[in-house]
Every structure is written in structure tokens, then in C-alpha cells.
């Protein structure tokens, strides 16, 4: 497996949110031609300057990202469904607040038992679950939201989300 840039360019994308006087938001997405991050930052400024010259809307947020995709994509070999999730409730550090971490299409192995009622409960002492939660703790790789980090897992369960249907 190799990860390759998404799109025709070097993989940099700029997403800009424009806000009008009714607080309606429009999102524009630009595939960048930039060869590296430093150039992409400069190129974003150029896009924003040009955009300000042609729209009355205010620029709300700007997001620069680097996207990669697998060059050998294949569908999962096991049946799974992203509308099924393992939902883990965690305590936030330095707060009485709690947060949720969802894992789409969870492996059956992360639940307490492979069958029965315990198959609905996330095993919080499973090494894979601990490893995943560690990403959101102090010294990890990501925040849960708003710069908050997890202290410890409280509980977890299997949940499902509703899938929408469109009729043509």
C-alpha cells in the first residue's frame, strides 16, 4: 500500500467558507497546484485576495489540507457497515465534561464478548481500544474538540445511526 496525493496536483486543497448578511454559508473548494506546503500557504493568500475582489461575502474560515489516498483501494473483505458504531464516552482532562468518540464499522473483537448481550459493550481494557483512545489524550496526536483531551474511557456501547434514502 502506498499513499499518493489526491487529485492532479501535489495533494493540497484549500476550503474557504463565505458568510453572507443572513449568516448563510457557502463553501468553495480549490485543488491547489502548489508543489509544497510553503508554496501552498502563499497560494492560498493569492486566492483569498482574488476572492475578496469578486465577492461581497465575508471570508469566515480557511482550511488548507493535504490529501492522500491509497493507490490500491479495495472494499473490506469482511461485511461491515459504517452506520454501526462503537461509541465511547470519555472524561475530559481538567473538567467535569464528557465527550464521545465514535468508531464506524467496529471490529467485533473490541466488544466484551463475540455474542450475546456483552457483544453490545465496548471492552475498555482491550489493547486496540486503549491504543485508539490514547490518540486523544495529552501527548496524543489529536484533540477531541476545541483543544480538549481525554483523561480516561468511562463506558462504551454499540450504536447505530440512521441511513438516509433518496428516491429518484
Cα separation, 159 vs 47, in Å, equals 42
Listed by start position, the domains of the chain span 3-70, 84-160
Per-residue pLDDT of the chain (168 residues; tens, 9 = 90+): 666 666 665 688 999 999 999 999 999 999 888 888 999 999 999 999 999 989 999 999 999 998 888 878 888 999 999 999 999 999 999 999 999 999 999 999 999 999 999 999 999 999 999 999 999 999 988 888 778 999 999 999 999 987 665 555
Among left, alpha and beta (phi > 0; psi -120 to 50; other), residue 46 is alpha
Q: What are phi and psi of 143, to 5 degrees?
A: -90, 155
Tell me the CA distances in angstroms from 145 to 65, 75, 101, 148, one per residue in order. Answer: 18, 30, 10, 6
Residue from 27, 29, 34 nearest 5 by CA: 34
pTM: 0.71
Helices (DSSP H) in the chain: which residue ranges?
A: 37-52, 127-134
Amino acid at each position: 500500500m502506498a499513499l499518493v496525493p489526491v487529485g492532479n496536483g501535489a495533494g493540497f486543497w484549500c476550503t474557504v467558507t463565505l458568510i453572507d448578511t443572513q449568516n448563510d454559508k457557502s463553501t468553495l473548494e480549490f485543488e491547489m497546484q502548489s508543489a509544497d506546503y510553503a508554496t501552498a500557504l502563499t497560494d492560498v493568500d493569492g486566492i483569498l485576495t482574488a476572492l475578496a475582489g469578486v465577492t461581497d461575502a465575508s471570508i469566515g474560515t480557511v482550511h488548507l489540507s493535504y490529501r492522500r489516498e491509497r493507490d490500491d483501494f479495495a472494499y473490506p473483505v469482511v461485511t461491515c457497515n459504517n452506520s454501526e458504531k462503537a461509541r465511547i464516552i470519555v472524561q475530559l482532562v481538567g473538567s467535569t465534561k464528557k465527550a464521545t468518540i465514535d468508531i464506524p464499522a467496529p471490529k467485533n473483537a473490541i466488544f466484551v464478548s463475540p455474542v450475546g448481550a456483552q457483544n453490545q459493550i465496548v471492552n475498555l481494557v482491550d489493547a486496540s481500544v486503549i491504543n485508539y483512545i490514547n490518540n486523544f489524550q495529552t501527548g496524543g496526536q489529536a484533540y477531541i474538540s476545541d483543544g480538549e483531551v481525554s483523561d480516561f474511557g468511562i463506558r462504551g456501547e454499540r450504536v447505530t445511526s440512521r441511513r438516509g434514502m433518496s428516491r429518484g
